[in-house]
């Protein structure tokens, strides 16, 4: 099956989460960043009757020393004033964009990728990521650049010195007043990324004993052997330090993965279930359920249904989750990978704030994380990634026939999802069901077929 959604407007530069690429190679070059700044600046200031403003935040990648000034130059040339906030989590930039009444927010980050990659994410004045249509419009403007500002209307640049303090206070305000983290030992892995200062401070100020790891960025070590995509590192740290909970963020801190006191990993689906249960019991859960993507485990859906709640699925990408939340009036949504969007507190994924909600539940329950965070038993789920060359094999008759046959074998006791990655030439195969052996066999068979239908081009020697 596909993800069942309407195809977005055609875009060549923007993917599922902004523009991504290898640093200093097209499209992630200084020239592209300046051109994007010019187009986005003109797009968001063209009908304004006030002096327009943009907020730029970044993670700790070396290439941000190249991209930040280039993007700033483009925005200034479009007549926008620019506020630089330095290394800050993506959700902090979204929050500051709204708080400062800015017209545009920009984050320079490739999220969980290594330092060699980088990316540019754009937020509107409401703190939400731009829609597919808005991104397509900006691409068109980059190709046919509108008139820039006159010499007298060029923007100015300043640094917001108290940006970190503003976010720290905002994050602490999401933790229930009257509760403290006294007596809890918490490992927080900041992936040598954007939250390397703010996340340990928030936890410390709430009373926890904090063991910070991944808090020494050098420009090239972001996500290197640590962070939310390397949960085994977090598990080892929890065991080494005898911690009550481990929190792993990614490079821009918009996603989170946890480890309980035994070092066992808690993924985004379990976090969603816990927050839904906690907020539901308090009468806070809006929309009658939760929004997640097609990748979330069927066990989560069954758990919510048993509580009389529904799971609304979207295509992969946290901004699609956010859009569905706004349309349906939900206040909890996220992805299995750890993007948690809590609309009561922010407009985009915030790993630290999500972790604080889990910690609040731990404090209130007075029980260990291994008991509180295990909300359901996930069904066996197997993922396979297959690189391809040329045209995508999705839609080929041979693959369609094989998918139908596989779905028949699963019957009503499982799911099958075949989709193209939004960031690289990869077909992702996901099979899920009650019979783990059958699920693995189906995933392997489909992956092998895809590889024969459209093999990747050989790498140059």
- Break the chain into its structural domains and give their ranges: 14-162, 172-264, 266-372, 381-453
270 close to 253: Cβ distance less than 8 angstroms: no
For 228-355, list the strands marked E by DSSP.
245-249, 256-259, 265-266, 289-293, 310-314, 332-334, 340-342
Residue 208 burial (CB count, 10 A): 22
Q: Classify domain 172-264 at the CATH topology level.
A: Alpha-D-Glucose-1,6-Bisphosphate; Chain A, domain 3 (3.40.120)
Question: For residue 460, what pLDDT is reported?
Answer: 44
In eight-state DSSP terms, residue 110 is -
Question: For residue 381, what pLDDT is reported?
Answer: 92
Question: Token pair for residue 286?
Answer: 């809006």
Question: For residue 47, what pLDDT is reported?
Answer: 67
Active-site residue identified among 45, 63, 111, 337: 111
Question: For residue 3, what pLDDT is reported?
Answer: 45
In eight-state DSSP terms, residue 267 is -
Taking the C-alpha atoms of residue 267 and residue 312, their distance in angstroms, rounded to an integer, is 18
Question: For residue 423, what pLDDT is reported?
Answer: 65
Superfamily the domain 381-453 falls into: Alpha-D-phosphohexomutase, C-terminal domain (3.30.310.50)
Domains 266-372 and 381-453 agree in fold: no
Taking the C-alpha atoms of residue 418 and residue 424, their distance in angstroms, rounded to an integer, is 15
Q: Which of 103, 13, 90 is nearest to 50 (CA)?
A: 103
* Residue numbers of the chain with a pLDDT score lower than 50: 2-6, 460-461
The arrangement of secondary structure in 14-162, i.e. its CATH architecture, is 3-Layer(aba) Sandwich (3.40)
Taking the C-alpha atoms of residue 317 and residue 294, their distance in angstroms, rounded to an integer, is 10
Question: For residue 91, what pLDDT is reported?
Answer: 97
- Tokens 């290197």 sit at which residue? 224
- Residue 412, burial from CB neighbour count under 10 angstroms (0-12, 13-18, 19+): exposed
CA distances from residue 31 to 19, 42, 60, 225, 291 in whole angstroms, order as listed: 14, 17, 20, 31, 38
Question: For residue 367, what pLDDT is reported?
Answer: 97
- Tokens 């706004």 sit at which residue? 326
Instruction: Respond yes or no: is residue 337 known to be catalytic.
Output: no
Q: Which of 147, 145, 118 is nearest to 22 (CA)?
A: 118
pTM: 0.90
Question: For residue 15, what pLDDT is reported?
Answer: 84
Question: Token pair for residue 133?
Answer: 């249509």
Question: For residue 391, what pLDDT is reported?
Answer: 84
Q: Classify domain 266-372 at the CATH topology level.
A: Alpha-D-Glucose-1,6-Bisphosphate; Chain A, domain 3 (3.40.120)
3-state secondary structure of 310: strand
Q: Which of 370, 323, 314, 371 is nearest to 347 (CA)?
A: 323
């Amino acid at each position: 099956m596909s993800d069942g959604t309407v195809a977005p407007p055609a875009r060549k530069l923007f993917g599922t989460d902004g523009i991504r690429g290898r640093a200093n190679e097209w499209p992630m070059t200084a020239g592209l960043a300046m051109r994007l700044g010019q187009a986005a600046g003109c797009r968001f200031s063209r009908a304004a009757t006030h002096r327009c403003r943009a907020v730029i935040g970044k993670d700790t990648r070396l290439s941000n020393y190249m991209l930040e000034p280039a993007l700033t130059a483009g925005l200034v040339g479009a007549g926008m004033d620019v506020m630089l906030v330095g290394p800050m989590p993506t959700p902090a930039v979204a929050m500051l964009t709204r708080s400062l009444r800015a017209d545009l927010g920009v984050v320079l980050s490739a999220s969980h990728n290594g330092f060699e990659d980088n990316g540019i994410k754009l937020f509107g004045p409401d703190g939400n990521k731009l829609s597919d249509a808005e991104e397509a419009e900006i691409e068109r403007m980059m190709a046919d650049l509108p008139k820039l500002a006159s010499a007298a209307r060029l923007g100015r640049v300043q640094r917001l010195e108290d940006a970190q303090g503003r976010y720290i206070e905002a994050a602490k305000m999401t933790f229930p007043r009257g509760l403290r983290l006294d007596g809890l030992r918490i490992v927080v892995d900041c992936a040598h990324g954007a939250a390397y200062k703010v996340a340990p401070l928030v936890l410390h100020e709430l009373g926890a004993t904090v063991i910070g790891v991944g808090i020494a960025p050098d420009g090239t070590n972001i996500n290197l052997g640590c962070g939310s995509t390397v949960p085994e590192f977090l598990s080892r740290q929890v065991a080494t330090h005898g911690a009550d909970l481990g929190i792993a963020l990614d490079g821009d801190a918009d996603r989170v993965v946890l480890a309980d006191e035994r070092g066992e990993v808690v993924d985004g689906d379990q976090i969603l279930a816990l927050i839904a249960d906690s907020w539901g019991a308090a009468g806070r859960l809006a929309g009658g359920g939760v929004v997640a993507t097609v990748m979330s485990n069927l066990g989560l859906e069954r758990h919510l249904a048993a509580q009389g709640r529904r799971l609304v699925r979207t295509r992969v990408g946290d901004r699609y989750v956010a859009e569905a939340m706004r349309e349906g009036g939900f206040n909890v949504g996220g992805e299995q990978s750890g993007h948690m969007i809590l609309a009561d507190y922010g407009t985009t994924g915030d790993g630290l704030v999500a972790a604080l909600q889990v910690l609040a539940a731990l404090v209130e329950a007075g029980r260990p994380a291994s008991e509180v965070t295990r909300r359901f038993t996930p069904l066996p789920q197997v993922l396979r990634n297959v690189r391809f060359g040329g045209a995508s094999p999705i839609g080929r008759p041979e693959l369609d026939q094989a998918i139908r046959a596989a779905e028949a074998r699963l019957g009503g006791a499982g799911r099958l999802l075949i989709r193209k990655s939004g960031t690289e030439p990869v077909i992702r195969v996901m099979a899920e069901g009650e019979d783990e052996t059958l699920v693995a066999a189906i995933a392997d068979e489909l992956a092998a077929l895809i590889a024969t239908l459209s093999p990747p081009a050989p790498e140059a020697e």
